[in-house]
A and B are shown apart, each in its own frame.
Chain A
């Protein structure tokens, strides 16, 4: 079930509740943000199991941090961006520990197995694969902007990158997606017997 958020007012209300009663409201924070964090983890990492662990790790870090913050500080948190930062940092640490090169996920058009014309209509799968072909920086920028729907200002704050850089990553990422999509479509046309 996807939980649609009005990011500003819902998060502000949630932050106020957390400031008042962390243990009593933490479940609401998990329920409100787990789908979007899982989406980000899964779409930038590529493995469901890893994504699940990463999201849990992110929430544990968030809980521990909140437990040390005073109510004022919690109330002022912009939860969406704050949680995203924790998720991305946790993901980076994890990648370092596991030493899994992210380029392993890279989409190589030549190496793609022939796509059955009947299953090629699985659009989500196709787009997921296309996304996996972007560089890590482009991929996370596109996922945060267009899958999750964060604003450029939020992404800049969450990733610690200048807004212009984030925009450039999104822009190049979208261009790369278009090119890859055209290539995939061309290949499919060629594979369909006349």
Chain B
């Protein structure tokens, strides 16, 4: 192949090769989701480490330091995580809006490694509005696995992106607040209180055997934190200990909170 190129030009052109910038390999692996970046984010329960890659947010964790976070992340995902100064601005803004109760802004999540059942549980938890709670049994029934109440609890415990997927809004079937994966039950209470669902009040009701609120004007009954139940004035509020009692009194279940699953007394 004759290019009629003189050796000087040939050497000069070959000398124009440029090494790729140092960070390109890692940035590319992050972009395709084979490695992750993470940064520290402030939250109502203190600093959290948030990891992300090109597919979405991959972890939200409470960890004592970077080393502990990276080790845990690698053990779970098999991937490296590299500390950055801060979250990408648009992601930080989206998370902030989500925590403020805006469920309509989409945050991509990287949930690789999870089962279809786990993803169904987490997606259902995403439907619970800020300031409201639902029992484990509610999730189980809503996803069509009414007997899998214990498995729902386990799946919520494995939620890799707590706060963003609000597993803190799922409580024990007896109405008690229950366990929490992100640093324990104290954090769950703090987050719920911050969202306007008073955990002490909820447990007081639970201990008193109250599971549902009804309105004697509409004859509809709800889970106690349902936004419809909270609009009922005290004068018209009726308390029920079971769905059976509510039905017997001629009340029908609310279409928003769908309280038709029996909650343990």
Residues of A at the B interface (CB closer than 8 Å) are 1-2, 23, 26-27, 30-31, 34-39, 42-43, 48, 52, 55-56, 59-60, 63-64, 123-124, 127-128, 131, 142-143, 145-149, 151-152, 170-171, 174, 177-178
Contacts and interface: CB of A to CB of B under 8 A. Distances in A.
Contacts of A27: 25, 29, 34
A42 B19 CA distance: 10
Interface residues of B, number: 25
Given A151-B1, A171-B3, A34 B25 contact: yes
- Chain A contact surface mostly: helix
A93 B29 CA distance: 22
B18 A30 contact: no
Interface in B1-35: 1, 3-5, 9-10, 12-21, 24-25, 27-29, 31-32, 34
A180 B65 CA distance: 58
Contact of A38 (B1, B18, B54): B18
B31 to A, nearest CB: 5
Nearest to A63: B32
Given A31-B25, A127-B12, 17 more contacts: A2-B17, A26-B34, A27-B25, A30-B28, A35-B20, A38-B20, A39-B17, A42-B18, A43-B18, A52-B24, A55-B28, A60-B31, A64-B32, A123-B15, A127-B13, A146-B5, A147-B13
Contacts of B34: 23, 26-27
Interface string B132-159: 0000000000000000000000000000
B34 to A, nearest CB: 6
A2 B15 CA distance: 11
Contacts of B5: 146, 174
A187 B221 CA distance: 90
A85 B12 CA distance: 25
B16 A39 contact: yes
A52 B19 CA distance: 11
A133 B133 CA distance: 66
B28 A34 contact: yes
